Structure 1
Amino acid sequence: MSSLSGLPTPPLLKGELFEDYLQDFPLKASDGVKLGLVDLSSCRSAQYERKMGQTELSYYLPSRQSGVNDMYLHLGFRAPGQFVRRERVSAVWAILRLRHPLMCARVEMHGYDDVRFVYDAPLSPEDAFADADANLEYRRQSKDELIDAYLNGSRTLSDSRLSYLIISVPKEDVAMPTPPRTPSPSRTAREIAVPPEDEAERQFELLICAMHFLGDGMALHQFANDFFSLLGSEKSDVELNAVLAQEWQNRWGNTDQDNVLPPALEDNMPLPDVGFRRAAANVDFQLSQQKLVGGQGFPRKKTPNNCKAHGVSISAALFAISNIAWARVGGGTKELPAIMYSALNLRPYFTVKRPSPWDSYWFLAIGYFNVILPNFLPSEGSAESAFWHRARQAKEQSARAAKHPLEDDEREKGTWVPPAHSSEPPKESILPARAKVSTAALIGLSLLGNLDGIYKHGAFPAIQLHTLTTGSRQRHGAMLLFGYTFKGKLWISLGYDQNGFADGVVEKFWKESLDCVEEFLG
């Protein structure tokens, strides 16, 4: 992926920035740390690691080749230029990376069942700052250019770069010539924040990039809120660097630490890992899968107030939107219902509480559930009554799933292989016999709910967020509909593999979806 860089500047000397900023804001000797040029000879390198859990592996293994499921969160905002200076952004980025160590860990793969997070503790606040600054890039691109490059260009993230931050000023908002392209994300010259350092308000684009096996949408949005709460706070740059120093001191200034890396999902809901339990869980999963009947799928190439009045949420309504829209497109046989899947937040089920300061919210905590609805339009009654009835059906099925979370199977891990041929007769299945039926899923829905409950806009009054778009790199033939409310409005977006579907069918479905939103929710 290529990018537009800022103007090159000499490399930052370790300690130089902190020495300049903190000469008028010294820390007390009792604080045990001095920002500035630090003698690292007395510092000990500390490395921590843990194996990925099964759910993390299910995201990591398929991502290795082309970055399938690599997440992004775009936020468009207006702010005075002084709030988005590179030094200020780097300090905030460094503070949050200290709080959430998985973001600056790396991955080492020793085998399909032995993939590890490895985290090298920063030797000093300056070390943490330099690491954050190395994973920050300034560009001059529009929102669409940023997202397109991330989704369709070469991969931004890697096993040695699990998170990345990009800030851009659109070309039309910069009264200076565009510099030449430079390679990204690996680069030899450090870009600077766009000048000027004045109070003139301008448009900025933020792209937060993170591996999906690090966390989920809840972590991504909570992180964005914390980022803007620090960036748009009344704290001066000097005070933010003092916060960084204190964050480092709390974690690494004294003794060796335990529990540095957040545990895997399975360790947050501990159960005895014995063979019988795993076998029982597998049977339970297979039985639940046998209940699924769905035969709808987009033709592929081989290559809010209204909802409350009807007793459903926006999320339930979006299942019905997709269902009615697909039925109106006229795809698939009417006899087979449509399966749609979505993510289930498992954080409320966690029983392990992490002690401060190692209580990071950056960890993966999702399962999946299915909603099955008919694939036909009613011949009697109004379309509106049918729509709200199906929305209530989606609500009921979602509620049942929340009481019985399940995990993905081996195919989703990317480790499934066909069984070897054997001369022995096949073993009789313990599962009840039933006729083979299609279990194809029509579409996935990522339903994030009301994001205004996460973003505390009053905490950063100088920064005005106005646009939010989120998504991930898609695998071949994949499609995912995102739905959420933000700034009091309903936002929906569709991410899909453009080369994976028959010509025109996705466009027809999208048009019908928008028409359904206007018809039933408008």
Structure 2
Amino acid sequence: MSTVLKRVDSHSSDDTLVGPSRPLERQLGETEVSYFLPSRESGVNDMYLHLGFRAPPETMKRGRVLSVWSILRLKHPLLASKVEMHDYDDIKFVYTAPESVMDAVESADSNLEYRSQSKDGRSQMINAYLNGPRTLSNERLSYLVISQQPEEDPAQDLPSFDFMLCATHFLGDGMALHNFANDFFTLLASDRADEDVECMLTDEWYARWGGNKVENVSGLPSSLEERLPRTSNGKFYRAACRVDHETSQAKLIGGHSFPRRSGNPRKTVVPTISIDAERTKLMLKKCKAQSVSISAALFSIVNIAWARTCDRNWSLPIMMYSALNLRSVLTASKAFNDSYWYLAIGYFNVVLPTFYPKSGSEEDIEKMFWHRARAAKNQSTHAAKTPMLVSRSQEMARERGQRARMWAREDDEKANGTWRAPPPSPGAPVASKAPSAALIGLSLLGNLDGIYKHKEFPKVQMHTLTTGSRQRAGGMLLFGYTFAGKLWISLGYDEAGFDDAVERFWQNVLTAVDTLLI
């Protein structure tokens, strides 16, 4: 039994009051289903957030970390839930409330790992999460790892640590990860004594579950679809929304994709660069002068980098996709256990020309680059501000959920040896459609220093942030964000699933950043 367990168990008799006798549960929403079903076999889309930082050793004692981890699992019950699947249309979050403070701590302790690492331990830890056996499961939706790095610079006053939070993607999104990490370090590195943090844990449990106040509990945090503003249920309106969605999707044309290889075991790699703070300031200043954000500029960087990589189909445009943060349009949830741990993302696409002149002045290339960055900005803005945002998000969620069920059923039937290919559809030949291949996905997180309130935890000196997810074979996603005053760009992809065009593309990305953003 850990120290914190002994301390907490020695509190007042209130600790032994029993919570609700039956678990809380709710059905997964369509967006959650679309992430849950592909994750069953090997953890596709399981997320991680890694932070490298320096901190006083007393701040990082296991007992104190465990108390904070326990508090936040009480505040955000989906972290401590499990998933039960009874059918493709019957998939539930199930949360069993802790019967005591000790019960809450024991649950958190079983999902907390402390480790010491070698010099290369950080990269090994991330590589093991991405490519090794799955860390998470239907029974374990979140997991926290804390490790201490060996001291490389004796002149440093504080030791170096790593924080890695693992969570399934159907539990939440990137904003949930980063808001959680900010809350974690704000509480961990506060001036409160260890005993005061333990009292906070007792108070948190008692406020939620002490005294059998089950009548105050209204349920788990709601799904995206339940939080979207209500629209008309009329048949005509629903039909019009479907037509609008299908029309908007039909306009998306993309004629480029990376050449793929198959038959090799998946191996995800994440090459990452960071731009020093002074150069990042110059980049931000230049983007502002061109009336675009770094995010819009990165769409154009990818566009130029691919145009320099490929040697065919320049007449067809490049299509890229990205996630759209929907939190600003959601209605508030009144659930007792409401939290920011839920999925709140939609999806949009940016389509840019591929043509790239083989000869031309640097000035002409730069003008073209910024013109395409502004085009990306306009498309992103239109996607976020269209009056049809809610209905398109609903239609997309429904479509993704249905598609995930279809693929999951097919995968299960193939595994059971019962799958049969559907017969060809009779009737007139289907009219040819414009190509709609997406080259790559971009996860553009913006300025994360707006989320991490570094001044709130001055004892902790953060210096590194990387994030990503376990990918399916042939997966690829480019990340871009600013953190600790630096611009970070990383490319997570299945090294075994592509030919060397990806390496040439990545070098062209780095060259474009160096020559066009400064």
- Tell me the TM-score normalized by structure 1: 0.84
**1:105 is matched with which residue: 69, 73, 81?**
81
Task: Measure the CA separation in 1 of the matches of 2:424 and 2:477.
Answer: 39
Task: Measure the CA separation in 2 of the matches of 1:43 and 1:215.
Answer: 26
For residues 165-197 of structure 1, what are the alpha-carbon distances to aligned partners after superposition, in whole Å with 9 as ceiling and x for unaligned? 00111245699xxxxxxxxxxxxxxxxxxxxxx
Alignment match, 1:445: 442
Task: Measure the CA separation in 1 of the matches of 2:9 and 2:105.
Answer: 13
- 5 Å-filtered alignment, 1:222-233, equals 222-233=179-190
Task: Measure the CA separation in 1 of the matches of 2:7 and 2:311.
Answer: 60
Establish whether residue 143 from structure 1 lines up as the match of residue 103 from structure 2.
no
Q: 1:299 Cα shift?
A: 0.6
Q: Which amino acid aligns with 2:497?
A: G
- 5 Å-filtered alignment, 1:197-236, equals 201-236=158-193
Task: Measure the CA separation in 2 of the matches of 1:258 and 1:118.
Answer: 14
455-464 or 412-421, larger mean C-alpha shift: 412-421
Gaps of 5+ in 2: 264-283, 411-419
Q: Identity of aligned pairs, percent?
A: 53
**1:510 is matched with which residue: 499, 502, 506?**
506
Q: Which amino acid aligns with 2:37?
A: L
Alignment match, 1:287: 247
Task: Measure the CA separation in 2 of the matches of 1:424 and 1:90.
Answer: 62
Alignment match, 1:8: none
Alignment match, 1:415: 406
Alignment match, 1:463: 460
Alignment match, 2:266: none
Q: 1:45 Cα shift?
A: 2.8
Alignment match, 2:100: 124
Alignment match, 1:17: 7
Residues 476 and 383 (structure 1), Cα distance of their counterparts in 2 relative to 1, 3 Å cut: same
Residues 331 and 156 (structure 1), Cα distance of their counterparts in 2 relative to 1, 3 Å cut: farther
Give the number of the structure whose residues are more often helix, by fraction: 2
Give the number of aligned pairs: 468
**2:65 is matched with which residue: 69, 82, 89?**
89
Does the 8 Å contact 1:108/1:115 carry over to 2?
yes
**2:36 is matched with which residue: 53, 56, 60?**
60
SS in 2 for 1:88: helix
Residues 317 and 414 (structure 1), Cα distance of their counterparts in 2 relative to 1, 3 Å cut: farther
SS in 2 for 1:292: coil
Task: Measure the CA separation in 1 of the matches of 2:434 and 2:71.
Answer: 52
Does the 8 Å contact 2:49/2:164 carry over to 1?
yes
Task: Measure the CA separation in 1 of the matches of 2:425 and 2:436.
Answer: 30
Q: Which amino acid aligns with 2:6?
A: E
Residues 248 and 330 (structure 1), Cα distance of their counterparts in 2 relative to 1, 3 Å cut: same
For residues 330-377 of structure 1, what are the alpha-carbon distances to aligned partners after superposition, in whole Å with 9 as ceiling and x for unaligned? 25410111000000001111123335x523000000010000001121
Does the 8 Å contact 2:51/2:464 carry over to 1?
yes
Alignment match, 1:474: 471
Does the 8 Å contact 1:49/1:118 carry over to 2?
yes
- 5 Å-filtered alignment, 1:108-507, equals 108-141=84-117, 142-171=121-150, 201-254=158-211, 255-256=213-214, 257-269=216-228, 270-271=230-231, 279-303=239-263, 304-354=284-334, 358-378=337-357, 382-402=364-384, 403=386, 404-405=388-389, 406=393, 407-408=396-397, 409-410=399-400, 413-416=404-407, 420-421=422-423, 425=427, 435-502=432-499, 504-507=500-503
Alignment match, 2:413: none
Task: Measure the CA separation in 2 of the matches of 1:338 and 1:424.
Answer: 34
Q: Which amino acid aligns with 1:468?
A: L
Q: 1:64 Cα shift?
A: 0.7
Q: 1:521 Cα shift?
A: 1.5
Does the 8 Å contact 2:16/2:99 carry over to 1?
no
Residues 332 and 68 (structure 1), Cα distance of their counterparts in 2 relative to 1, 3 Å cut: farther
SS in 2 for 1:321: helix
Does the 8 Å contact 2:4/2:64 carry over to 1?
no
SS in 2 for 1:234: coil
SS in 2 for 1:494: strand
Does the 8 Å contact 2:48/2:165 carry over to 1?
yes
Q: Which amino acid aligns with 1:439?
A: S
73-82 or 286-295, larger mean C-alpha shift: 286-295
What do you get for the CA RMSD once the two structures are aligned? 2.6
Does the 8 Å contact 1:296/1:331 carry over to 2?
no
Residues 14 and 330 (structure 1), Cα distance of their counterparts in 2 relative to 1, 3 Å cut: closer
Q: Which amino acid aligns with 1:415?
A: M
Does the 8 Å contact 2:221/2:333 carry over to 1?
no
Does the 8 Å contact 2:2/2:63 carry over to 1?
no
Task: Measure the CA separation in 1 of the matches of 2:19 and 2:338.
Answer: 25
SS in 2 for 1:466: strand
Q: 1:34 Cα shift?
A: 4.2
Task: Measure the CA separation in 2 of the matches of 1:130 and 1:174.
Answer: 36
Residues 424 and 386 (structure 1), Cα distance of their counterparts in 2 relative to 1, 3 Å cut: closer
Q: Which amino acid aligns with 1:339?
A: M
For residues 175-231 of structure 1, what are the alpha-carbon distances to aligned partners after superposition, in whole Å with 9 as ceiling and x for unaligned? 9xxxxxxxxxxxxxxxxxxxxxxx972000110000000110111100000000011
Q: 1:283 Cα shift?
A: 3.1
Gaps of 5+ in 1: 1-10, 23-32, 176-198
Task: Measure the CA separation in 1 of the matches of 2:312 and 2:234.
Answer: 43
Residues 473 and 249 (structure 1), Cα distance of their counterparts in 2 relative to 1, 3 Å cut: same
Residues 89 and 455 (structure 1), Cα distance of their counterparts in 2 relative to 1, 3 Å cut: same
Task: Measure the CA separation in 2 of the matches of 1:230 and 1:207.
Answer: 17
For residues 54-87 of structure 1, what are the alpha-carbon distances to aligned partners after superposition, in whole Å with 9 as ceiling and x for unaligned? 0100000011111110000000000011111110
Q: Which amino acid aligns with 2:308?
A: R
Residues 519 and 14 (structure 1), Cα distance of their counterparts in 2 relative to 1, 3 Å cut: closer
Q: 1:499 Cα shift?
A: 1.2
Task: Measure the CA separation in 2 of the matches of 1:276 and 1:95.
Answer: 48
Task: Measure the CA separation in 1 of the matches of 2:44 and 2:245.
Answer: 25
Residues 279 and 66 (structure 1), Cα distance of their counterparts in 2 relative to 1, 3 Å cut: farther
SS in 1 for 2:491: strand
